[in-house]
Structure 1
């Protein structure tokens, strides 16, 4: 495993992390505690130390599964990121909660679910610019930093289309952003990454396998079951994506390298990117994802020597 400093935070994180939305029960599987334990044990074995979750992944369910594991592990071995701003109301349904009092309650609920005294990275979750432009909110969060409940602040961007929140991240003492970035979606390269580099912000790349399209499992003509979120995608767009993936596999992926491993390492090669956070459903996936670190660039500007 390789490690990088997360922007202007003091957090050194593994270049491959673990995304944990799936533990909230919305992706066709309800995870048991022993299954999450096995995934996190494998992550530890592989040198992964970064976990990304959220309060609305099953109404603190993902956090609770992680927290149960953390309570039986060394807390200091892990860098835990979670998010705020929503409340879970069933499959893919959320309400938005951004007042100071609501966010304080969310923070305390997250600390309780995670069975921890502090959160390493607390991220505003897909907020609108109006929700972002709330001085009272950021003043309150700054006080939580002073109290030690939070070690660092971040912003999980809702869109790749514009860079307003990234441009103003330093103004609210955010040291990292999270963004969708993969070989099929390079939009952040235009505005978001240059702004991040100018401010020394850490960058967490979510959906690095493009919702599984870059896993290497699917060929042109593939169809998805009704309980698969990809079945809701436009069929013409899906056909175009699968054709793109086939061309990438033929022309860019070295022989003998699994496409998923290559796709993660491709993201890690961008000088703005600190880490990738693919979702993991099994210890075997953790092991495969971790191999991307071997292909990561040792001369990356955020590398921890």
Structure 2
């Protein structure tokens, strides 16, 4: 495992860390505590020391699993959670300092931890980023010893750039992958200037970049890859990174030609992200121990050549950019 500094938090975290949206099983298939424990323990056994969760993942069961495993380990494991998505309807007016404080306190109870290493606003409506009183409350929570750092998870580059105007925002979690490249432009530069840590989520475009899907692939009825392709439940960009599935398959076929004989493209897709020094870590999800091992196999690959790196970018330019670049 390699480690990078998470911006001005000063934390040294694993380049490949763990996202726990589907840690207890595949999306929509129920939560399995034993499987969750196995996945998290396997990640830690292999050097992962940063775990990202959220209060809405499986209605708090993900947080409970993360806390349970972390408390059982002797290593220093950093835990990040998120708050705000419980607000229903999920609108700007629902974001109130006292409401958010209660969410953080509930997360502490579920994890059993004395403090969260990082709490992140969970993709709030854009207007929330223009309300200083929301961000000020987290300074109070830090003074109370309930959190150590504040970050944000965002949908759009514009939100990320606005968020880092607040000096107490230490990290930004954002979608970034071969098929979602806009963040590498202005945002990466601005984050570097302010020493803001960048946490990359949806690095495999909801599994599309593994290369294991085809036109006959189906998904569980409760899986967001089935019901949210047009943004019916939440931002469309969270599902397949906002890409039309069939068009994405064509682009993936081009990636396969670029890496003949590579049945699993996931580690290559992660390797592409790690080329960017501004990235602090990547948090791919895992619904099995095999997924954890697949993600960590990025370190077994030969160095990605500049020619291959550029060819991957060319595929984005040809197949994907026109549909997604200006949207997020």
User: Counterparts of 2:267 and 2:37 in 1: how far apart (Å)?
Assistant: 23
Counterpart mapping for 1:1-305 below 5 A = 1-23=1-23, 27-74=27-74, 77-87=76-86, 97-159=94-156, 162-219=157-214, 221-225=215-219, 227=221, 228-232=223-227, 233=229, 237-251=244-258, 253=259, 255-256=261-262, 258-295=264-301
Q: Classify the secondary structure of the residue corresponding to 2:95.
A: coil
Deviation at 1:110, TM superposition (A): 0.4
Contact (CA 8 Å) 1:63, 1:114: kept in 2 or not?
A: yes
Greater strand content: 1
User: Counterparts of 2:60 and 2:172 in 1: how far apart (Å)?
Assistant: 22
User: Counterparts of 1:127 and 1:229 in 2: how far apart (Å)?
Assistant: 19
Residues 227-264 of structure 1: per-residue CA shift (max 9 Å, x gap): 24333436x9211110001101212x375573111111
Contact (CA 8 Å) 2:21, 2:53: kept in 1 or not?
A: yes
Residues 240-299 of structure 1: per-residue CA shift (max 9 Å, x gap): 110001101212x375573111111111111221111111111111111112245598xx
Structure 2: where are the runs of 5+ without partners? 231-242, 304-328
Q: What is the match of residue 303 of structure 1?
A: none
| TM-score, scaled to structure 2 | 0.80
Distance change >3 Å, CA 100–CA 121, structure 1 → 2: same
CA RMSD of aligned residues (A): 2.5
User: Counterparts of 1:20 and 1:246 in 2: how far apart (Å)?
Assistant: 28
Q: Classify the secondary structure of the residue corresponding to 1:163.
A: helix
Distance change >3 Å, CA 272–CA 44, structure 1 → 2: same
Q: Classify the secondary structure of the residue corresponding to 2:198.
A: strand
Residues 157-193 of structure 1: per-residue CA shift (max 9 Å, x gap): 122xx42442441524111100011111112123221
Report how many residues are paired: 288
User: Counterparts of 2:33 and 2:250 in 1: how far apart (Å)?
Assistant: 38
Residues 194-223 of structure 1: per-residue CA shift (max 9 Å, x gap): 22122121111100001111112124x333
User: Counterparts of 1:34 and 1:218 in 2: how far apart (Å)?
Assistant: 27
Distance change >3 Å, CA 193–CA 164, structure 1 → 2: same
Contact (CA 8 Å) 2:199, 2:280: kept in 1 or not?
A: yes
Distance change >3 Å, CA 136–CA 94, structure 1 → 2: closer
Q: Classify the secondary structure of the residue corresponding to 1:281.
A: coil
Distance change >3 Å, CA 296–CA 2, structure 1 → 2: farther
User: Counterparts of 2:104 and 2:159 in 1: how far apart (Å)?
Assistant: 25
Structure 1: where are the runs of 5+ without partners? 298-305
Contact (CA 8 Å) 1:70, 1:115: kept in 2 or not?
A: no
Pick 1 or 2: higher relative contact order, CA cutoff 8 A, min separation 6.
1
Contact (CA 8 Å) 1:86, 1:95: kept in 2 or not?
A: no
Deviation at 1:134, TM superposition (A): 2.2
Q: Classify the secondary structure of the residue corresponding to 2:252.
A: helix
